[in-house]
Amino acid sequence: MLQVNNIRENKDAYVKALSKRGVDANTILEEVLQVDETRRNTQAQLDEVLSQSNTLSKEIGMLFQKGEAQKANELKEQTTQLKEQSKTLQDQLNEASEKLQQLLFTIPNIPNELVPAGQDENDNEEVFKEGDIPTLDSEALPHWELAKKYDLIDFELGVKITGAGFPVYKGKGARLQRALITYFLDKNTAAGYTEYQVPHLVNEASGFGTGQLPDKEGQMYHVGIDDLYLIPTAEVPVTNLFRDELLAHNQLPITCTGYTPCFRREAGSYGAHVRGLNRLHQFDKVEIVRIEHPDNSYAALDGMVEHVKDILRDLKLPYRILRLCGGDLGFTSALTYDFEVFSTAQDRWLEISSVSNFETFQANRLKLRFKDVDGKNKLAHTLNGSALALPRVLAGILENYQTPNGIKIPEVLIPYCGFDMID
């Protein structure tokens, strides 16, 4: 969530920056400033009324002590009027504050200057590419057919027990899935990230804290009777560990990793591009989260990019990195790099990770602050990245490592799997 003071000081610059997202923000930012002006004026009036009431109360007490009851009772009539005024002003203040917050919830984060203008994924910038795309046998299959051929994943069973988008992993498919999770966690902890196991359900405050709520796109599963939400990513519970915290500057950076299943309704998803593991309602992901000093957050973002690169090099999968344009940038992000692995059998790129810097956008919602060396309280910067999302990594391995005799296991995963071939 944007800070009103920053909007006031940088309104024209924010309007220009938000135009990269295809958003004409002039009207909404002007409304924010007007509502905030109303809020501040109302607060000033309320403070004045409360001050007058407090002064009169003291005076009334002194008059009673002196035995001047008549004068005291006359003043009590004034305090009654002031109490009515204060109640009216408090209601007006609450209304203005609520309206201001609701307006701020509708405004996305300000894109970093590196973010290119653009409307959608077609306008993203490729900034890096690495790895050789293998030449497959003419009989090569897409992963959903490989999964059926080798009895690795049963999509129909998932439909039977839950519905479409909830696959059942079996045998070596389940073991490979588990191996990937363990390998990712080991890589992350070796890089200094502290592992957490977190709840898979979060409350409303947590959803608001990281920006998933209000849920404009209807992507969150809501458990209505308990007013809880199934998590769309481990980012939500992990980042919320630090909600309402005031940290010391020497506690930064804080680095976390965690594995969770993730749940997304993916409303409106259909067509060939969502077949198999391409898009699911439940999937596994290993996440990394950082709480950083604002001066260090972009260096940290670069480090996260290098970390994910290292994982993909270990897996020997061909990949590329995209810098997302304004129109494809997530609501809460200031700068995002997407990693895509090449699916040889599908002949297309599949997103497997997003690494993002949210600057103070989440921290302002979370009230996540730190005390700087100068003793001032400042908002921290939050970052997160997928290291990695498993379904499409698994799809990439199955497709890129297939041979006429079976599917090879990437060398780095063999100790985790306990086998080197699926046949």
> Taking residues 387-391, what's their average pLDDT?
91
Instruction: Please state, in angstroms and rounded to a whole number, the distance separating the CA atoms of residues 340 and 125.
Output: 12
237-257 pLDDT, tens per residue?
999 999 999 999 999 999 999
97-108 pLDDT, tens per residue?
999 999 999 999
CB-CB neighbours of 272 under 10 Å: 9
Lowest mean pLDDT among 39-48, 67-76, 136-145, 368-377: 67-76
Helix 171-190 with 297-315: angle, nearest 10 deg: 140
296-305 pLDDT, tens per residue?
999 999 999 9
Structure confidence at residue 263 (pLDDT): 97
> Taking residues 6-35, what's their average pLDDT?
97
For residue 271, is pLDDT > 90?
no
Amino acid making up residue 161: I
Closest among 34, 28, 35, 38 to 106, alpha carbons compared: 28
Q: How far apart are the first and last CA of the chain?
A: 51
336-387 pLDDT, tens per residue?
999 999 988 888 999 999 999 999 999 999 999 999 999 999 999 999 999 9
Show the CA angle centred on residue 341, arms to residues 361 and 404, nearest 5°: 155
| Contact (CB, 8 A) for 364 and 381 | no
201-202: strand order across its sheet: 201-202, 228-230, 222-223
Instruction: Please state, in angstroms and rounded to a whole number, the distance separating the CA atoms of residues 242 and 23.
Output: 31
What are 291's strand-pairing partners? 254, 382
Structure confidence at residue 138 (pLDDT): 82
Domains and CATH numbers, the chain: 4-105 (1.10.287.40), 121-422 (3.30.930.10)
Q: To 10 degrees, the CA torsion angle through 185, 191, 197, 198?
A: -120
The SS3 call for residue 404 is coil
Q: To 10 degrees, the CA torsion angle through 266, 267, 268, 272?
A: 30
